[in-house]
Amino acid sequence: MSPVGLGKLLAQLPKVQDANLLVGFDKSDDAGVYRLSEDQAIVVTADIITPPVDDPFLFGQIAAANSLSDIYAMGGQPVTCLNLAGFPSKKLPEEMLHGILEGALDKITEAGAVLAGGHTIEDEEPKFGLSVTGIVHPERYWSNAGAQPGDLIILTKRIGSGVLFNANLKGWVSDGALTTCLETISALNRSSAELASTFTIHAATDVTGFGLAGHATEMANGSDVTIELHASQIPQFPEALDMYKKGMTTGVNAENRAMIEHSTRFAGSISIYEQELFIDPQTSGGLLLALARDDAKALLKKLHDAGHTQAAIIGEVKEQASDHLHFV
């Protein structure tokens, strides 16, 4: 459902009162964090997506990487996973579900976690994701609140996967551009998170369904700051911007724009096509990190040295203004 509608529903729920619940749903964070002891907390999340590709194994990989990313975005280490699947068993062969499960297990294993079980329901179309439990020290978890004026903002993956998937259905995307996109979104955020954990991260999230602008807005709101993003520095998938120029869009761009329209300002030099790209919904997108200026520059070098060559410093944190997010 739309982020605006979801926010209204969650606001109607009573606030959870528990001293050990370190992170709940009140600030739209990526996962919950619950303290078990003085030196250990669990990180819990669940995520389900529809297939962005036809290949079952690749779908399983992407869906698992997408679910695991929430744990990495909180600074945690995934430990156990449960498969969550909706499948039309009367319309599609069971071998397809088997392929999805195999792809997911491949990424779960790569993450160093274990598959502990799952749940499947009959559905009209395939859906898949994971419920993931991770661990983190209760004083060292990340959240999307805590960005400080003067921080720089790092994004570790390119954006534009949403429009590429839709355009690919019409045969508009080249094989090379599609391959680049699929290789990126099927990759875990594990390495980026582990490198980032060697620095003091003030705020973190991952860029997924609400798009870069939506998740940056959540970080700004949670931190009571304004975030300024530099459009020319934001990494994008090849051909993604071209797809918007050709008239392609996604089914949630309008909802994502509604989420940010009252708190975001775009410089006059930024075209409507670029604006659409910045609200493009991502699947298994990159980490969005706020940290001190010198640390950000050092982390970016580490990311590049480790092969994350598309990671970039895309903006900075300012004192809170009337608009929470500026694109310049």
144 within a domain of the structure (yes/no)? no
pLDDT reported for residue 28: 74
25 and 93 fall within a common domain: yes
Amino acid 229: pLDDT? 99
Looking at the structure, tell me whether residues 296 and 190 fall in a common domain. yes
Q: What is the pLDDT of residues 203-254, one digit of tens each?
A: 999 999 999 999 999 999 999 999 999 999 999 999 999 999 999 999 999 9
For residues 30 and 176, membership in a common domain is answered with no
The pTM (predicted TM-score) of the whole model is 0.94
Say whether both 128 and 178 belong to one domain: no
- Same-domain pairing of 23 and 87: yes
Q: What is the pLDDT of residues 260-296, one digit of tens each?
A: 999 999 999 999 999 999 999 999 999 999 999 999 9
Domain containing 184: what range? 152-327
Note whether 278 and 173 are same-domain residues. yes
CATH of the domain at 238: 3.90.650.10
Residue 3 has pLDDT above 70, yes or no: no
Share of the chain above pLDDT 90, in %: 92
What was the pLDDT predicted at 68?
A: 98
Q: What average pLDDT score do residues 189-196 get?
A: 98
Q: What is the mean pLDDT of residues 129-147?
A: 97
Asked whether the beta carbons of 192 and 308 are under 8 A apart, the reply is: yes
Q: How far apart are alpha carbons 70 and 202 in whole angstroms?
A: 17
pLDDT at 324 exceeding the cut of 90: yes
Pairing of strands 264-266, 325-327: parallel
Whether residues 184 and 320 share a domain: the answer is yes
Residue where a domain terminates, one of 79, 108, 136: 136
Residue 27 lies in a domain: yes
Question: What are the residues whose beta carbons fall under 8 Å from the beta carbon of 160, sequence distance 6 or more?
Answer: 181, 236, 237, 239, 240, 241, 243, 277, 280
Same domain, 200 and 323: yes
238 in the same domain as 203: yes
- 223 and 317 co-located in one domain: yes
pLDDT greater than 90 at residue 318: yes
The total of structural domains in the chain comes to 2
Residue 259 lies in a domain: yes
Residue 262 domain flag: yes
Rounded average pLDDT over 47-63: 97
Question: Which band of pLDDT confidence, cut at 50, 70 and 90, is reported for residue 27?
Answer: low
Q: What is the mean pLDDT of residues 78-103?
A: 97
User: Which residues does 87 contact at the CB level (< 8 Å), separation at least 6?
Assistant: 96, 97, 120, 121, 122, 123, 126, 127
Shared domain check, 161 and 123: no
Average pLDDT value for residue range 148-163: 99
Nearest to 142 by CA among 221, 79, 75: 75
Asked if the structure places residue 217 within a domain, the reply is: yes
CATH code of the domain covering residue 61: 3.30.1330.10
Please report whether residue 143 resides in a domain.
no
Give pLDDT tens digits for 8-26. 787 788 877 899 999 988 7
Q: Which two tokens stand for residue 188?
A: 């875990």
Residue 81 has pLDDT above 70, yes or no: yes
- Is residue 56 assigned to a domain? yes
Residue 26: per-residue pLDDT? 75
The H-or-E segment that residue 110 falls in is: helix 94-110
The verdict on residue 72 lying in a domain is: yes
State how far the Cα of 110 lies from the Cα of 103, in Å rounded to an integer: 11
Q: Where a domain ends, among 111, 136, 161? A: 136
Structure tokens at 268: 């006059």
pLDDT surpassing 80 at residue 172: yes
> Same domain for 132 and 164?
no
Q: Quick one: pLDDT at residue 316? A: 99
